[in-house]
Amino acid sequence: MNEFRAALLQMVAEPTEEANRKKGMEYCRRAKAMGADLALFPEMWSTGYTMDWKPEAMKALATAADGPFVRAFQDLARELEMAIGITYLEQYEPAPRNTLTVFDRFGSPVLTYAKVHTCDFDIESRLTPGDDFYTADLDTAEGPVKIGAMICFDREFPESARILMLKGAEIILVPNACPMELNRLTQLRARAYENMVGIATANYAYGQPDCNGHSTAFDGMAYGEIRPGVVESRDTLILEAGENEGIYLATFPMDKIRTYRKNEVHGNAYRHPAKYRALIEETIREPFVRPDYRP
């Protein structure tokens, strides 16, 4: 396999779910025309990351995983023969979830992931967190790619990408809804570097409340041969959008990424898991105790 092309759909949301369905489908068609293997939406596209503090109102905003909004993108993936990563506020008990479902180019659901690290210091405390991180084999016209997913705030926990790497992820999809500034971009760069994975992040465009575009893609290859026998550090950033709405096509050179992963020192090559027992210690001590923490 030579390349995997991910279209980052950087948009401003519309006022209704139906309007977001129509706009999202239009952007997917444009992504297909650009040659994308997969189109990725920003976080919680069904509502435009709109939520409500009142539980019943929050539930009223949610959409079923097998309902007409999500099915529309399943049907479109099949029609376009292009994978689609659609995001939505999912109907769930006891409270909705912040969810991504990836349909492959045949319209089959290959991965559904609910945000594990909900922002419990804010309105996402009203959501049900996801319970694990998942990977899946995504069939493309050029061959399979092992994908995984994390959503926005998941990025800030090294464990999210590390678990996905350990489960075989080659490309991590990251729907997003926040201002992408220096430190958040640095986090994504670090997750790609330390796990030798590609990371594709789709954010809302400027004009969406508290968002500024800057969707990005990192290929995870921190070193490269600049001429025969000479290897130097390189920037793993392969795409950074500006602030405006648009479709930004990130091309991941899969053959090169796989060769790099077979030979470099990061990822799972030299880890010592038996010495990391403190990572699964559940006690939280000062100065990190927070009254709104949910186990």
Write down the pTM of the prediction: 0.97
Q: Are strands 83-90 and 97-103 parallel, antiparallel or unpaired?
A: antiparallel
Could you confirm whether 115 is annotated as catalytic? yes
The continuous run of DSSP H or E covering 27 comes out as helix 17-33
Query: 17, 32, 90, 115: which is the annotated catalytic residue?
Result: 115
Q: Are strands 135-140 and 216-218 parallel, antiparallel or unpaired?
A: unpaired
Could you confirm whether 81 is annotated as catalytic? no
Could you confirm whether 256 is annotated as catalytic? no
Instruction: List the pLDDT tens digit at each of the 295 positions of the chain.
Output: 799 999 999 999 999 999 999 999 999 999 999 999 999 999 999 999 999 999 999 999 999 999 999 999 999 999 999 999 999 999 999 999 999 999 999 999 999 999 999 999 999 999 999 999 999 999 999 999 999 999 999 999 999 999 999 999 999 999 999 999 999 999 999 999 999 999 999 999 999 999 999 999 999 999 988 778 888 999 999 999 999 999 999 999 999 999 999 999 999 999 999 999 999 999 999 999 999 999 8
* Direct distance between the N- and C-terminal alpha carbons of the chain, in angstroms, rounded to an integer: 41
Query: 28, 152, 178, 211: which is the annotated catalytic residue?
Result: 152
Q: Are strands 216-218 and 97-103 parallel, antiparallel or unpaired?
A: unpaired
Q: Give the model's pLDDT for residue 96.
A: 98
